[in-house]
Amino acid sequence: MASKDEIDRLIAEADAALGRPPAAPPVRSRREPAPVADAAVERPPGRFEASLKVSAVSGGVAAALVFATFAVLPFLGAFSGAAGAFVATFAIVLGQRLFRRKT
């Protein structure tokens, strides 16, 4: 097993080869860690939040496709068709994601 001096020497050589200043050893702080309540706690999105995002993306894709199709056809309203496609797709996808059975 390599000694701590050898490891420090190798790290210093690697830093010199890469053009970085030599790494200083970590300094331990005597300060107490911040309370957990003050720290921002990241939590994964819940089932409902994830379902809303998926539904919105699905509705957006459907609206874009309907708008592009209806824009070519002069007798159909592109904006109203896109809005209808968004609302219908959003509702269907959201309903399926929220009320599906877990197997």
pTM here is 0.48
Q: At 58, is the pLDDT very low, low, confident or very high (cuts 50, 70, 90)?
A: confident
User: Quick count: other Cβ atoms within 10 Å of Cβ 62?
Assistant: 20
Burial label, 88 (beta-carbon count in 10 A; 0-12, 13-18, 19+): middle
Amino acid at position 40, single letter: A
Question: H helices within the chain, ranges in order?
Answer: 4-18, 47-72, 78-99
pLDDT one-digit tens code per residue, 1-45 = 567 788 888 888 887 777 766 556 656 656 666 556 655 667 776
Tally of CA atoms within 13 A in the half-sphere of 67 that contains its CB: 11
pLDDT the model gives residue 70: 79
Contacts of residue 54, Cβ cutoff 8 Å, sequence gap at least 6: 93, 97
Residues 68-82 have a mean pLDDT of 78
User: Quick count: other Cβ atoms within 10 Å of Cβ 63?
Assistant: 21
Residue 47 in contact with residue 35, Cβ under 8 Å?
A: no
